[in-house]
Chain A
Amino acid sequence: MTEIRHHLTDALLMGYSAGTLPEGFNLVVATHISLCDECRARMHAFDNVGGGIVDNETPEPMSMDSLNQTLDLIEAGDIAQQAAEAVSPTDTLNRRADTDVLPAPLQQYVGGDLDAVKWRKVGGGVQQAILKTDTSATVRLLRIPAGTAVPDHGHRGTELTLVLQGAFRDETDRFGTGDIEVANEDLDHQPIAEDGEDCICLAATDAPLRFNSWIPRIAQPFLRI
């Protein structure tokens, strides 16, 4: 595991813990945490804030027979579970194989590792694959050939870019495998993939990007970027 230098923000971690992020952002956060023990520990800390809120909650009386109803639910669940395990005794561990590039939460959206990604060309050698989530954010995999630039762009909302393979540089810094860049309205940037390996990123936006040249602007409605 290479050392991760760019981490999730507190606001993103709190939103993830509270469960209020767009689904596409949740996917980027869960994927970063899969690669980063530091942010995993911070996530647990924020979850413990949620526990504190439950502790301090004003109790709402449960209905008369609710404990017994719950015990019935448990028994019904036990029977269903035994039936399911009799059919397919799989362990449901959410883990990737050592040689896989994509962390487990991302593989669930892709339907496998890198070889299962359905890439489409978006120009300049760059390829993308949009992943299916709810519409509150758009999330895509990007494959940027080594040494290639992504079109210069700004942002209306928030853009999260997580590096899964290779590295890129922009006006702010270098982002290597596992690093996440959190960009907002203030940042106009032109990411360039480093020489060597192709750079593969997971990118999510909660508003369309703002391109600074006219060709990508024409292509934008078709490419959903």
Chain B
Amino acid sequence: MMTQTSTLMNARKPASHDAQSAKRILEQGLPGPALVKEVDLKKTHTSDRMAWVSHMQAIRDDKDRKAFAEIFGHFAPRVKGFLMKSGANPELAEDVTQEVMATLWRKAHMFDPAKASVSTWIFTIARNRKIDVLRKQRRPEPEDLPWGPEAEPAQEDVLALQQDCENLNEALAALPDKQKELIVKAYYGDLTHNEIAEQTGLPLGTIKSRIRLALERLRHQMK
């Protein structure tokens, strides 16, 4: 898909047609009334997340530069901010951010929206580059799962997980300032593992259970 990229750097939100289709997904075939009630409150944010997911699919399937430019416009400055708070100077943060975004393009087929939001996936790429460049460490990664990243997850699993990420984000924002500060410091690398509290106050149970169930189902299908 070829489109002009001139004004896209200013894009702060995913393109509206994608938001529309995400909204359609939100309104159709959703399980359970509880989720529908939640959706009313958080329609905008979750549909944004779903739109970023479809941008990733457009990059993966069509090498869509317009979708990439929008993701870049929104996320690259945030990644740069994150790297600078993690101790990189502006030049290094700029270079590493470009590498992170190039990796996002190259590894678009590895992104699994039933386990991570687009921001999470970008975070993990940025974190790995940070370990490599700033800490000069090797990063051991867990073994790949037997079914590989090529299995396309069910749409309702994707939607549910993206909604969980939104809820988690709100829970993070709602934490008392001191607690929030500690978590943020941990992710900037300002705390050693001994300083990280065992009780974070973050409600991770829902999102963990959902991913756990998905893993179980996939393992079962493999047998």
Contacts and interface: CB of A to CB of B under 8 A. Distances in A.
A152 interface: no
B111 interface: no
B193 A52 contact: no
A15 B131 contact: no
Interface stretch (B15-23, B24-32, B34-42, B118-126): B118-126
Interface string B80-123: 11101100001001100111011001100000000111111111
B211 A45 contact: yes
A109 B120 CA distance: 27
Contacts of B82: 53-54, 57
Given A56-B173, A59-B81, A66-B76, A51 B144 contact: no
A172 interface: no
Interface in A23-62: 23, 25-27, 29-31, 33-34, 37-38, 40-62
Residue among B93, B102, B191 with max Cβ neighbours from chain A (10 Å)? B102
B168 interface: yes
Interface residues of A, number: 71
A81 interface: yes
Residue among B143, B187, B188 facing the most chain A CB atoms (10 A cut-off):
B143
A212 interface: no
A45 B115 CA distance: 8
A183 to B, nearest CB: 13
A10 B199 contact: yes
* Residue from A18, A21, A158 having most chain B Cβ neighbours under 10 A: A18
A51 B143 contact: no
Contacts of A59: 77-78, 80-81
Interface in A63-106: 63, 66-67, 69-71, 73-74, 77-78, 81, 93-96, 103-106
Contacts of B97: 62, 66
Nearest to B122: A54
A96 B143 contact: yes
B120 A50 contact: yes
Contacts of A96: 143
B198 interface: yes
B44 interface: no
B128 A14 contact: no
B141 A94 contact: yes
Contacts of B117: 48, 51
Interface in B112-169: 115-124, 126-128, 130-131, 135-144, 146, 148, 164-165, 168-169
Given A11-B193, A62-B76, A95-B143, A46 B204 contact: yes
B72 A70 contact: yes
Contact of B142 (A33, A53, A54): A33
Nearest to B191: A20
Contact of B116 (A34, A47, A78): A47
Given A19-B139, A48-B117, A51-B165, A73 B187 contact: no
A20 B128 contact: no
Given A55-B119, A69-B98, 6 more contacts: A54-B122, A55-B169, A59-B81, A62-B94, A66-B98, A73-B102
Interface of A: 9-12, 14-15, 17-23, 25-27, 29-31, 33-34, 37-38, 40-63, 66-67, 69-71, 73-74, 77-78, 81, 93-96, 103-106, 108-109, 133-134, 157-158
